[in-house]
């Protein structure tokens, strides 16, 4: 965000306050909507050092402003009030600056439940990101216990976050403000209308009813959110502080820099902290949706000057304990207690990020909302025309100025319905409830409409498309530079003892939790195959390292005989998505220390000594990955005696390894995967696989799942950097299906070329590339990236950051992108996508806007169906609200011609009994069970929708105008005698002369009459009845069903409401009850005229329905018009498709392209999801 400083001026402030009073608060409301106008009116621009008000402006395309008040804290006063501060401090610290400049103040700006601080001089408030690993250990683990005092004393004032205790009250206040905001026009309408006691007492109470459903839903979510925040805010923690030693305190007193002591047993983390000693097992399901426990290791004491987060790269999360997660188990090392340093507290933590993402969701640039504002402007212009007409009519007839103003402003409140904004959210509210019943939870409701536009879905592979559990298929051991016979895992054939067996027994991060082995499914299957057990309760004595808490694995009852009592796992280097491997340091009881590594075969082979890797390694790997197997490489080496495992770096451990072999695992597709992908394909929704697995395995799974048709060709895109140069090369190679190590048996090259070209000519080809190639293409071949993405289907060996980057690149091509994954490594991509769906058991996850409790991609078409239904519902509601206000507007303008209007009860009946009830029930219609092969429109300003609105306005105007004119031509019509049509009623005849003498202005002339309040006339009765039933007609016509919603008859409540409302309206038409007619300001008309009105309404219904079905909803007609006028989609990917269809040289098979020497850096876009509050631009240092 951009920040601008302003200083309040007294005389400007006085003038604005006067404006608030004179405008009856309207100016204040305008300034609430436009905070920048408020600041510009009250303040003058100044420097940030002098500012008491700051204006924040987002740097996105919306460029929205927010006004914040600056508070200042005197650092010098705080320091002088404390005697326990260190006498000496670092030269660049806050203390040194305050001593040199006693008047120093820290300026603080609250924003989105966080406090941001700035000083007159340049300083870093994110110093933990800038410290090196060694500096963190030296400064934070010295005998005094804590960081040099910068953060401790002033931490609560400067660094602490906004309190969360009154979050619910704040949310309810925001909700109340929302209701008042929507009801503002309704209240104006109340005071401008003719006063009656009933209307005065009911309208303020009933006007928010259309939004009541949404309000209760938001209130329930607010309560749940409040509990989510408070769950970790008041727990007792042990802290080690300088000169105070160890002490127990409540977690809300923590500040960055405190050293937490983690005790044994389960602990809920109240802050983000970095582990500096020991090891922890953490359940992070609340954040990532992953139910698998995660191992956290302490920050290494690397002797370098890089910032710790930059040094650790994507592995830094392996050292950070996130707020809201649960520590299941702690393991001390030779340094004693398990300690962690507080990095962030309150809303700056990972859990705070979740809460803020719910309260302040990322604005979505959706055409529907932009068009709604434009449509609103059109209605205001429409109302302005009506105001001019009203002023002219009433002024020319000699009405009082006050009456003319009231009537003119009343036209505005009629033409611009106050419930119009709520109409766009009604469908979302009910859709959210339906999704919840189906096990899909949403923390960002405004994205539901976006789901209706999705046309590309990215899927993770493992655990998403395929089963979580892997089955061991076989082991291909390697000895003396050669692969041996494959070992098959059967019940009666156990694996013999050896290095491979030991690697399978110890190279994992499994734990025993609640009596069960927990961890990665791959690790569980691999360990279970050894028939060993985990003894996680014993201490271990290691020479020169003291007593530590270590994991010991021992032979189980069913295990084959082994020459050792057990193996101790001394140290772990957890699995890294960036490195694609994990390692452990283990020691046989009574034996020597060894390193065991497992991971992607290509990565493991690179770390091994070349003489230990078989010569046919690549061909064997290709043989098994081409069949869809998951292949894991295993390696080991012996450690030199005398080296302490805790002090070894990962680089030292993972070098000069001995290759042990390949572990082959079968990863089956989920039962739902293929039908779901076929359903998406039939709906013309593109599917893309984004995985961290081997590219050949990914391609095979894509073919088995139906992403790639058996007749389609797969082209492998490979990009490599040229050694010793800044340039790179890229090649396109056909990927053959059944390659084996015998490369000589391939068919003739010319035949292959012809077959591939034939497939390419019909557009049936798919690109597959690795994460490494993707990054090189993004850096060196930026102009080729859109072309590759257009047909890219498989992206393998992708890191979390590359997944996020890929989603953003698809969005740049104007795709509406969905992402479905497990919520852990896909966290960044899930947040970036238009609709991210995490497969998790948690209701709310920081990982994504949507969370599905069912671990199946069946939730994806379900979400798209509901999104389409919600989007269409929003259009229907918007059209209905616009038509309802226009129908009422036209009727009032017609009656204004005779200086008449609708009565208060007539307005009340239309607003509440008709529109409110229809608005609530119209959205009950569910989604159609089958996905159509096209999407609903995404904008209001589209020809079909505008034509529908305009034609129905013309139909309504024609009918009302026809009734208004024709009723005056009837033989029984009288302008003065409103009872001339019903002469058979005696008391009407008796009162006719007296009532006629009052005329239409009887009430205005001060002669009150019980039977006539000035509204009754034949025109009023005709126009009101026609317009009221016309509202029911447009509600019926606009309630479209197929192909995106179920037929209207399935919405039983709505159908019953329409029948009931129609019955009441027909009763008002044909009933001749004096008291009822008197209350409703209606007059009696002949039966034939009533029948004529019904015929007019029937004709309008028939014409409107036929036009809506035969023209507006006639998709072939609109496609023909597009073709006739040569209209083409403006989406970037559509334009690119048209260009590539004309390019016969694309793709350039078996050709090599070289890049220029200048590379585009995309590293900034490759970062995975992280907490933005302690991210920093470390490259600038």
Whole-number Å distance between alpha carbons of 319 and 277: 10
* 3 state SS for 440-481: EEECCHHHHHHHCCCCEEEECHHHHHECCCCEEEEEEEEECC
**Distance from chain centroid for Cα 162:** 24
Please, which residues have CB within 8 angstroms of residue 1053's CB and are 6 or more apart in sequence?
A: 921, 924
122-133 exposure pattern, b = at least 16 Cβ within 10 A, e = fewer: eeebbbbbbbbb
Please, which residues have CB within 8 angstroms of residue 1176's CB and are 6 or more apart in sequence?
A: 124, 126, 129, 130, 307, 309
- Which among 315, 460, 520, 523 is annotated as catalytic? 460
* Residue 764 DSSP SS3: coil
Whole-number Å distance between alpha carbons of 1154 and 1170: 35
The DSSP letter of residue 1174 is: G
Whole-number Å distance between alpha carbons of 278 and 337: 7
Cα dihedral sign for 343, 348, 351, 357?
negative
Q: What is the DSSP string of 256-287?
A: TT-EEEEPSS-EE--SEEEEEESEEEEE-HHH
Phi, psi of 1061 (to 5 degrees): -65, -40
Residue with tokens 């740049």: 812
* 3 state SS for 1103-1157: HHHHHHHHHHCCHHHHHHHHHHCCCCCCCHHHHHHHHHHCCCCCCCCCCEEECCC
Structure-block tokens of residue 1054: 């709505």
Q: What angle do CA 90, 94, 99 make, to 5 degrees?
A: 85
Whole-number Å distance between alpha carbons of 320 and 133: 13
Q: What angle do CA 433, 439, 440 make, to 5 degrees?
A: 70
Residue with tokens 């008002």: 1068
* Residue 630: strand pairing partners: 665
Whole-number Å distance between alpha carbons of 841 and 289: 7
Q: Is the distance from CB of 851 to CB of 841 less than 8 angstroms?
A: no
Phi, psi of 491 (to 5 degrees): -60, -35
* 92 is a catalytic site residue: no
Phi, psi of 377 (to 5 degrees): -65, -40
Phi, psi of 163 (to 5 degrees): -65, 150
Q: Is the distance from CB of 822 to CB of 464 less than 8 angstroms?
A: yes
**Closest to 244 in 3D by CA, of 124, 387, 146:** 146
Structure-block tokens of residue 250: 């409540």
**Distance from chain centroid for Cα 560:** 51
Q: What is the DSSP string of 162-185?
A: PP-TTHHHHHHHHHHHHHHHHHHH
* Residue 1034 DSSP SS3: helix
Whole-number Å distance between alpha carbons of 966 and 949: 26
Whole-number Å distance between alpha carbons of 901 and 407: 9
* Residue 632 DSSP SS3: strand
**Largest CA-CA distance found in the chain, in angstroms, rounded:** 121
Supply the residues annotated as catalytic. Answer: 460
């Amino acid at each position: 965000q951009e920040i601008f400083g302003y200083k309040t001026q007294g005389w400007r402030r006085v003038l604005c306050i006067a404006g608030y009073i004179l405008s009856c608060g309207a100016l204040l409301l305008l300034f609430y909507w436009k905070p920048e106008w408020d600041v510009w009116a009250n303040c003058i621009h100044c420097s940030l050092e002098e500012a008491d008000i700051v204006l924040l402006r987002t740097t996105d395309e919306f460029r929205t402003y927010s006004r914040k008040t600056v508070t200042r804290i005197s650092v010098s006063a705080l320091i002088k009030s404390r005697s326990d501060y260190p006498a000496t401090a670092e030269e660049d610290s806050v203390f040194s600056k305050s001593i040199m400049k006693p008047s120093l103040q820290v300026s603080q700006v609250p924003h989105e439940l966080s406090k941001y601080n700035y000083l007159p001089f340049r300083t870093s408030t994110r110093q933990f990101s800038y410290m090196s690993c060694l500096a963190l250990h030296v400064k934070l683990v010295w005998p005094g216990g804590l960081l040099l005092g910068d953060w401790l004393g002033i931490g609560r004032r400067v660094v602490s976050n906004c309190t969360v205790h009154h979050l619910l009250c704040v949310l309810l206040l925001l909700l109340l403000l929302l209701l008042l905001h929507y009801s503002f026009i309704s209240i104006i309408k109340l005071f401008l209308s003719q006063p009656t006691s009933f209307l005065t007492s009911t309208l303020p109470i009933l006007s928010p009813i259309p939004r009541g459903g949404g309000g209760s839903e938001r209130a329930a979510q607010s309560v749940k959110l409040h509990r989510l925040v408070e769950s970790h805010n008041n727990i007792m923690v042990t802290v080690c502080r300088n000169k105070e030693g160890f002490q127990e305190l409540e977690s809300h007193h923590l500040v960055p820099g405190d050293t937490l002591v983690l005790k044994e047993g389960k602990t809920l983390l109240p802050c983000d902290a970095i582990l500096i000693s020991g090891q922890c097992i953490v359940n992070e399901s609340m954040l990532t949706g992953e139910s698998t426990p995660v191992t956290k290791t302490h920050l290494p004491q690397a002797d370098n000057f890089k910032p710790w987060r930059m040094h650790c790269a994507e592995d830094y999360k392996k050292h950070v304990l996130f707020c809201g997660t649960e520590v299941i188990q702690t393991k001390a090392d030779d340094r004693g207690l398990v300690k962690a340093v507080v990095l962030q507290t309150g809303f700056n933590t990972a859990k705070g990020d979740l809460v803020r993402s719910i309260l302040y969701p990322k604005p979505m640039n959706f055409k529907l909302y932009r068009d709604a504002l434009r449509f609103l402007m059109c209605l205001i212009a429409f109302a302005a025309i009506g105001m001019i007409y009203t002023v002219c009519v009433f002024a020319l007839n000699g009405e009082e100025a006050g009456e003319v103003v009231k009537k003119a402003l009343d036209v505005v409140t009629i033409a611009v319905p106050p419930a119009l904004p709520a109409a766009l959210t009604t469908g979302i509210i009910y859709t959210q409830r339906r999704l919840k019943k189906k096990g899909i939870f949403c923390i960002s409701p405004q994205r539901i409409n976006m789901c209706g536009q999705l046309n590309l879905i990215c899927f993770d592979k493992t655990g998403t498309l395929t089963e979580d559990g892997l089955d061991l298929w076989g082991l291909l051991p390697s000895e003396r530079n050669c692969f041996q016979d494959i070992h098959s895992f059967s019940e009666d054939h156990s694996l013999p003892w050896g290095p491979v067996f030991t690697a399978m027994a110890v190279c994992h991060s499994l734990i025993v939790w609640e009596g069960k082995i927990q961890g990665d499914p791959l690790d569980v299957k691999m360990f279970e195959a050894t028939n060993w057990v985990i003894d996680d309760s014993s201490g271990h004595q290691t020479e020169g390292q003291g007593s530590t808490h270590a994991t010991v694995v021992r032979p189980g009852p069913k295990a084959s005989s082994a020459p050792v009592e057990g193996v101790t796992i001394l140290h772990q280097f957890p699995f890294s998505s960036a490195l694609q491997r994990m390692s452990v340091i283990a020691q046989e009881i009574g034996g020597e220390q060894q390193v065991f590594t497992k991971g992607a075969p290509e990565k493991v082979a690179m770390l091994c000594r070349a003489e230990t890797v078989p010569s046919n390694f690549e061909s064997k790997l290709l043989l098994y990955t081409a069949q869809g197997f998951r292949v894991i490489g295993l390696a080991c080496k012996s450690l030199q005696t005398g080296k302490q495992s805790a002090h070894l770096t990962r680089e030292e451990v993972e070098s000069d390894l001995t290759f042990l072999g390949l572990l082959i695992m079968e990863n089956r597709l989920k039962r739902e995967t293929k039908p779901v992908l076929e359903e998406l394909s039939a709906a013309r929704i593109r599917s893309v696989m984004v995985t961290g697995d081997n590219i050949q395995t990914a391609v095979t799974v894509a073919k088995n799942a139906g992403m790639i048709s058996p007749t389609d060709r797969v082209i492998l895109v490979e990009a490599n950097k040229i050694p010793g140069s800044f340039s790179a090369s890229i090649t396109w190679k056909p990927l053959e299906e059944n390659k084996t190590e015998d490369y000589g048996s391939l068919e003739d090259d010319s035949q292959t070329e012809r077959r591939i070209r034939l497939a390419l000519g019909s557009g049936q080809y798919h690109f597959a590339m690795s994460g490494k190639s993707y990054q090189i293409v993004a850096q060196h071949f930026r102009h080729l990236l859109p072309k590759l993405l257009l047909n890219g289907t498989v992206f393998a060996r992708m890191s979390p950051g590359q997944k996020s980057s890929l989603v953003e690149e698809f969005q740049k091509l104007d795709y509406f992108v969905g992402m479905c994954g497990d919520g852990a490594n896909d966290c960044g991509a899930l947040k970036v996508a238009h609709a991210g769906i995490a497969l998790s058991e948690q209701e709310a996850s920081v990982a994504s806007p949507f969370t599905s409790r069912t671990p199946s991609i069946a939730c994806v078409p379900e979400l798209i169906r509901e999104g389409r239904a919600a989007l269409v519902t929003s259009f229907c509601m918007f059209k209905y609200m616009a038509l309802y206000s226009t129908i009422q507007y036209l009727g009032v303008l017609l009656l204004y011609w005779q200086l008449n209007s609708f009565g208060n009860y007539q307005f009340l009946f239309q607003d509440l009994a008709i529109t409110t009830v229809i608005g609530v029930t119209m959205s009950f219609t569910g989604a159609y069970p089958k996905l159509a092969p096209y999407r609903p429109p995404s904008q209001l300003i589209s020809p079909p929708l505008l034509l529908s609105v305009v034609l129905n306005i013309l139909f309504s105007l024609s009918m009302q105008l026809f009734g208004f004119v024709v009723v005056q031509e009837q033989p029984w019509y009288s302008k003065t005698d409103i009872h001339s049509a019903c002469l058979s009623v005696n008391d009407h005849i008796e009162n006719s002369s007296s009532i006629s003498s009052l005329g239409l202005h009887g009430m205005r002339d001060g002669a009150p009459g019980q039977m006539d309040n000035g509204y009754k006339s034949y025109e009023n009765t005709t126009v009101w009845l026609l317009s009221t039933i016309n509202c029911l007609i447009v509600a019926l016509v606009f309630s479209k069903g197929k192909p995106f919603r179920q037929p209207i008859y399935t919405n039983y409540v709505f159908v019953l409401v329409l029948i009931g409302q129609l019955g009441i309206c027909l009763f008002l038409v044909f009933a001749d009850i004096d008291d009822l007619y008197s209350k409703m300001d209606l007059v009696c008309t002949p039966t034939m005229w009533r029948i004529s009105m019904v015929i007019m309404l029937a004709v309008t219904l028939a014409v409107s329905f036929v036009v809506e079905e035969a023209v507006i909803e006639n998709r072939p007609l609109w496609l023909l018009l597009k073709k006739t006028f040569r209209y083409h989609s403006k989406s970037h990917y559509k334009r690119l498709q048209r260009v590539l269809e004309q390019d016969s040289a694309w793709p350039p098979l078996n050709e090599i392209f070289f890049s220029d020497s200048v590379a585009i850096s995309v590293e900034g876009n490759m970062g995975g999801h992280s907490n933005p509050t302690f991210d920093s631009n470390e490259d600038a240092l």
